Amino acid sequence: MRYVDEFRVPAAARELLREIDSLDERGTFMEVCGTHTMAISRAGLRPLLEPRIDLISGPGCPVCVTADTDIDRAIAVAKEPDVILTTFGDMMKVPGTEDSLASASARGARVRVVYSPLESLAIAGEEPGARVVFLGVGFETTAPAVAATMLEARRQAIGNFHVLSFHKLVPPALRALVALEDFEVDGFILPGHVSVIIGSDAYAFLPDEFSMPCVVTGFEVTDILQAILRLLKMRRSGAALEVEYSRAVKPAGNPKALEVMRRVFEPCDAQWRGLFTIPGSGLAIRPEFAAMDAGTWEVELPEPSGSAGCRCGEILCGRIKPMDCPFFGGRCTPDAPVGPCMVSSEGTCASYYLYSESEGPDDRGEGADLG
């Protein structure tokens, strides 16, 4: 596969690891994109970089940081008799207060997994008797696609297509994190595809206002290692914003996509699961598109349970490790997760869980894959 395979060069990765090692620097770096978390886990990078370099997963999985009350709303909408709820596959198993979309579907709610919001629009066209609702989740990578679909729905006068928007924005979340008192992270591995849309300039505040080093990074192992090398060098040369993923990211991003996104959505305050409400970090559907906004519907919601005791927020900010959370491995497991760190299959807690249950006294000799 062109422009994929050429970036998978094991020898280059080994050389980058060697260069990282020879710098003899320490650092704790946070990645804020679920796909980066996944890539790092899959490549087994953490054990190769420890103990000098610590990679922390930040609140970067938009699926996992969707508030349980938002999931409850999606489920309530799905249960409406004439509704077909369409969603990205990622959302199916995420637990709300009582239920998940998967279990609601098992109980008769009409829920369909789609790869693109355009498929949802097509379903609306095919099912004129149904109200088809698309569950909008994702950061700035995805919001323009949803916005474009809504514009298309308007253009084609498809009146039974609706959207529930739980989209979130990355820069406000970064700002909220960096401003935390005890936020002790030495640099950010910034999300490559969000940046394709918003542009690298959107992160200038990180070095400028907070002296925080950051690198806009691609998703191959070589991209991530290059970013780490650059972040380590910044420990000596000073905080800066660099773009490693130059083959896709421009300083101003994709103005057309941004314009489409802004035509349909406006910023609002949003609740991040396991964290707190971050001002201006969500996307709400503009009043002009209210007819398509399923968020305005009256639906019955369960009493929020308040997962009091969940310490995902502190894990996501890099303050504690999974084992420090009293729920870890007991009340909160991959099969019955409480917060986003366990909801995501590659989340910090889910990863620790997997590695801890697979370690045994005889495993010491296996070298690199010690978790």
- 11-40 positions binding another protein, by CB under 8 A: 11-16, 18, 33-36, 38
Q: Which helix (H) or strand (E) holds 10?
A: helix 10-23
Among 30, 45, 124, 234, binds another protein (CB under 8 A): 45
- Shortest approach of another protein to residue 101 CB, angstroms? 11
Q: Of residues 93-132, which lie at the interface with another protein (CB under 8 A)? A: 93, 102, 113-119
Name the segment binding another protein (CB under 8 A); options: 2-10, 205-213, 264-272, 296-304: 2-10
Instruction: Name the residue among 127, 118, 140, 115 with its Cα closest to residue 33.
Output: 140
Cα torsion for 239, 244, 245, 251, to the nearest 10°?
50
Of residues 23, 92, 239, 299, which one binds another protein by CB under 8 A? 92
**Nearest 5°: phi and psi at 194?**
-60, -40
User: How far apart (Å, rounded) are the C-alpha atoms in residues 263 and 251?
Assistant: 21
* Nearest CA-CA partner of 312 in 302, 301, 325: 325
Q: Which amino acid is located at 207 in the chain?
A: P
Per-residue DSSP letters for 300-367?
Answer: --PPP---TT--HHHHHTTSS-GGGSTTBTTTBBTTB--SHHHHSTTSHHHHHHHHHHT--GGGGGGG
Selected binder of another protein within 97, 125, 154, 193 (CB under 8 A): 193
Closest distance to another protein from the beta carbon of 134 (Å):
11
Tokens of 27: 């650092």
Could you tell me which stretch among 194-202, 203-211, 309-317, 321-329 binds another protein (CB under 8 A)?
194-202
Q: What are phi and psi of 27, to 5 degrees?
A: -175, 150
Integer Cα distance of 327 and 219 in angstroms? 31
HEC states along 256-285? Answer: HHHHHHHHHEEEEEEEECCCCEEEEEEEEE
Using the minimum distance from each CB to another protein, give the nearer residue, 45 or 158: 45
Give the footprint of another protein on residues 196-215 (CB under 8 A): 196-197
Q: Which is nearer to another protein, 297 or 333 (CB)?
A: 333
List 53, 63, 231, 232, residue binding another protein (CB under 8 A): 63
Q: How far is the CB of 278 from another protein (least distance, A)?
A: 16
Rounded (5°) CA angle 276-41-244 = 80
Contacts of another protein in 242-261 (CB under 8 A) = 246-248, 250, 254, 256-257, 260
- 279-338: which residues touch another protein (CB under 8 A)? 334-335
Question: What is the three-class DSSP state of 160?
Answer: coil
Of residues 218 through 247, those in contact with another protein by CB under 8 A are: 219, 221-222, 246-247
Q: Which of 141, 160, 165, 281 binds another protein (CB under 8 A)?
A: 141
Strands 265-271 and 277-285: antiparallel
Q: How far is the CB of 298 from another protein (least distance, A)?
A: 29
| Contact range with another protein by CB under 8 A, out of 84-92, 283-291, 294-302, 320-328 | 84-92
Size of the site for another protein (CB under 8 A): 86
Residues in 333-362 that interact with another protein by CB under 8 A: 334-335, 344-345, 354-355, 358-360, 362
Looking at the Cβ atoms of 14 and 26, the one nearer to another protein is: 14
Q: How far is the CB of 118 from another protein (least distance, A)?
A: 5
Q: How far is the CB of 42 from another protein (least distance, A)?
A: 5
**135 strand-pairing partners:** 164
Looking at beta carbons only, is 33 or 283 nearer to another protein? 33
Residue pointed to by tokens 């950010």: 188
Q: Is 6 in the site for another protein (CB under 8 A)?
A: yes
What's the residue count for the chain? 371
Of 144 and 295, CB closest to another protein? 144
At residue 97, the 3 state secondary structure works out as coil
Angle (nearest 5°) at CA 142 between 138 and 147? 115
Which is closer to another protein, CB of 299 or CB of 354? 354
Closest CB to another protein among 306 and 361?
A: 361
